Structure 1
Amino acid sequence: MNQRVIALAVAAAALAVTALAAQDLKKAPLRDRWSVQEVTALASMRLKEAGQRPADASNAYEQRAEAAALGRALFNDTRLSKNGQVACASCHAADKQFEDGRQFGQGIATGKRRTMPVMGAAHAPFLFWDGRKDSAWSQALGPLEDAAEHGGNRVRLVRLVLAQYKDPYGKVFGAVPEVGELPGDASPNGTQAERAAWAALAPATRNSVNRVFANMGKAIAAYERLVSYGESRFDRYAQATVAGDGPGQDALTGQEVRGLRLFLTKGQCVTCHNGPLLTDHAFHNTGVPPLEPANPDRGRAEGLKKLLADEFNCLGRYSDAKPEQCGELQFLSANDTAQLGAFRTPSLRNVAVRPPYMHAGQFSTLDAVVQHYAASPQAAIGHSELAQPGENHAQRQSIRLSADDIKDLAAFLGTLTGPVHQPR
């Protein structure tokens, strides 16, 4: 046997020993023991369980590369604003978790709520804190005409797209609709003069403008679909626990594991923050204090009315979906009193690097957020779902956490931070 063959045999034997050693290492006793029910919960919370983003039946263009390229250009174009200085990327900055780090969104003026990240939007059935939109493309349209965000008006926005993006628009959506000669400014949501100019347009012209406007949103949504969360230390820990990999549990410290146990048990966080994106995608009133006690935000109660009246919702004429594909939208009621003061459950992924917190940035730290739930204050408007101390609550128990518990829970929340994947 020549030396080369011997060397290869020795190398192969070494690899086999290394593999066996790795297997033995994984069979080492688990540092942290969990019940079968808890392991099942941890398995369901791994990011990989999110799977492929569900296709949006209302947007037939969202998976086309050329649509995403157009959407990326629109997402970063400051010309789509009244003052020429605000783009979608101004509030959803790629280097800031696709947020802005502010208490209130800042466009051409200051908004009244926090900016939400775009990651995970394709998984959410309703968008914005109040759920007034039911698709990523419809959501993208709102800020363009909002007086505090882009401050644009529909006709001016469409004129710019047809002038600056005619070719890429045509490659995605086909022939550009005939709009004829348009006024300088017109919109159903603008100033009194803009609304009057909009009403003066022929119905066919308004429809063509709306079609281009809707397609702008569909292109932006195609780009946002490519932005996603990456795995965190928590995901590595959960995977190790599910696989029986003892050393893999070193991904979390002892304090972080204590926080995780609280998250799953007496902290009751998992009640709403569950699944791979750590959100139930629902709306809850948890007694978050309003910034203006005399004029509290009505939240989902108002969002429902706007959603059902929205011409760009799933059932609208600019949707690509069939009515039967619009699911829950057909059964929502604008008079659901349980939605008063309720806000969308945000994903907890990367939450530690996205202060401040709640729909209007009421809390600056995670400790303060956890303390709020431990205190379980009554709601200023509507009825809080949290159980008050001593209350006989049908669904929940009162949350009792010590000062150390609060620190441990906040420490665990820090393990949910991972990279943000975005197209290059």
Structure 2
Amino acid sequence: MRTKLYLLALSGVFFLGSAFVTLTDQPFTLEQLRQLYSQPTSQWPKPDVDPDIKNFQELGVRPDPKFPKDNPYSEKKAELGKFLFFDPRLSVSGQIACASCHEPQLGWGDGKQVSLGHDRQPGKRNAMTLLNVWNNEHLFWDGRANSLEHQMRFPVQDRVEMNHELTQMEKNLNKIKGYQVLFKEVFGKERFTIQEIAQALTTFERTIVSRKSRFDRFLEGKKNELTDLEIKGLHLFRTKARCINCHNGPLFTDNQFHNVGLTYYGRKYEDLGRYHVTKRAEDVGKFRTPSLRDVVYTAPYFHNGLFPTLDGTLNMYNMGMPNLQPTTAAQKADTLFPKTSSHLKPLGLSEDEKQAVIAFLGAISSVQQRINQPELPQ
């Protein structure tokens, strides 16, 4: 007991109930950080979280996916959905599949600034990863879909993406005998509708989850899974770097929308984000917080895909992100003039500290997934 109290005194923290209270601003040694973070998460040092953060959750082990009651999981349904996911016949050209923009070996994105769709037309936003998509309360960067079943209709119909009328796509798939057999096995009927197509496709998409990372194994008791640099990065992530304000919980996202200063208002690349959905001035420039699991594989970053590396991305956050203020009378009167989130501010991270955060982001990234394209029904 005396030894334990001595260690706690060295670290500058003491227990009050089950939580830590910081008594000094002096930095921890690497040895102290390892001791602190080897304890249960409820006993970790207090995170640097702003008081108005909603629904804050501590970091945790990757959860298993959940399936909605009106579209429960079955193995055969997921297998059918996998065929649909890789099938370019969902597009009017017969050349673009869901997997065209969500490639398993590219972190379930496509590695491009923006995706290319019908007739090689470029989209307006970066393709978000599908990893752990089951957890998303709203879909797309602007949150315009409220379920995966709702979401799947958008890219199929979009003139820039798959450019296919839903009714025609449904009719075309119903002509394929192989699908008639598979849909009968899953839904009990050969003739199927867009509803059954959506249920099968999204069942497969909900199985797209991150593999357990070294960070998960660290939390489960294997305390040598993280290096000293990664543990330092974990501590910075929760404190000085302030990442945890938005990237919290087991999946490293608050499922909220924030303006990170990249609206490009009145300029090339302008994108008003969530405002296009809600038409509320306070939503101008807000985009959904992406999960950071497997983030080392999901470049380029941000909604516009303009940042190709984690190093450059972290440099932007370290500077506090762009935070333009209205200066002219016209700007001050403009009700849509973007306001960068108050949670963003200059961080003062040293180069060594930035590299520690990036190292921790590597520790929450698991082994790349490889999935062979299935032989499609004929």
User: Which stretches of structure 1, 4 residues or longer, exceed 6 Å deviation after superposition?
Assistant: 421-424
Percent identity of the aligned residues?
A: 32
In structure 1, C-alpha distance between the alignment counterparts of 2:318 and 2:60, rounded to whole Å: 26
Specify the alignment match of 2:44 in structure 1: 38
In structure 1, C-alpha distance between the alignment counterparts of 2:369 and 2:111, rounded to whole Å: 19
Alignment of 1:34-183 (within 5 A): 34=36, 37-38=43-44, 44-48=58-62, 50=63, 52-57=64-69, 60-108=70-118, 109-164=121-176, 165-175=179-189
Distance 1:375 1:175, change over 3 A: same
Alignment of 1:12-23 (within 5 A): none
Distance 1:403 1:421, change over 3 A: closer
TM-superposed deviation, 1:176: 6.0
TM-superposed deviation, 1:88: 0.7
TM-score, normalising length: structure 1: 0.67
Specify the alignment match of 1:419 in structure 2: 367
Larger Rg: 1
Question: 1:104-163 deviations in whole A, cap 9, x for unaligned?
Answer: 112222111111122211111111111111111221221111112111112220111211
Specify the alignment match of 1:260 in structure 2: 234
TM-superposed deviation, 1:403: 2.7
Contact 1:258 1:408 in 2 (8 A): yes
Question: 1:218-247 deviations in whole A, cap 9, x for unaligned?
Answer: 11001112221111122223333xxxxxxx
Contact 1:97 1:420 in 2 (8 A): yes
Residue 250 (structure 2) pairs with residue 250 (structure 1)? no
Specify the alignment match of 1:356 in structure 2: 300
Question: 1:78-127 deviations in whole A, cap 9, x for unaligned?
Answer: 11212211111111112222211111112222111111122211111111
Residue 246 (structure 2) pairs with residue 283 (structure 1)? no
User: Number of paired residues?
Assistant: 313
Specify the alignment match of 2:20 in structure 1: none
Specify the alignment match of 2:17 in structure 1: none
Specify the alignment match of 1:24 in structure 2: none
Greater share of helix residues, 1 or 2?
1
Question: 1:389-418 deviations in whole A, cap 9, x for unaligned?
Answer: 6xxxxxxxx533223322221222111111
Specify the alignment match of 1:181 in structure 2: none
Contact 1:81 1:152 in 2 (8 A): yes
Contact 2:65 2:209 in 1 (8 A): no
TM-superposed deviation, 1:283: 0.9
Q: Which of 191, 207, 216 does residue 235 from structure 1 map onto?
A: 216
Distance 1:176 1:292, change over 3 A: farther
Residue 204 (structure 2) pairs with residue 223 (structure 1)? yes
TM-superposed deviation, 1:421: 6.5
Alignment of 1:272-311 (within 5 A): 272-288=246-262, 290=264, 293-294=267-268, 296-303=270-277
TM-superposed deviation, 1:340: 1.4
Distance 1:216 1:142, change over 3 A: same
TM-superposed deviation, 1:358: 0.6
Q: SS in structure 2 opposite 1:229?
A: coil
Specify the alignment match of 2:50 in structure 1: none
TM-superposed deviation, 1:251: 2.1
Contact 2:33 2:232 in 1 (8 A): no
TM-score, normalising length: structure 2: 0.75
Identify unmatched segments of 5+ residues in structure 1: 1-28, 178-210, 241-247, 304-333, 390-397
RMSD: 2.7
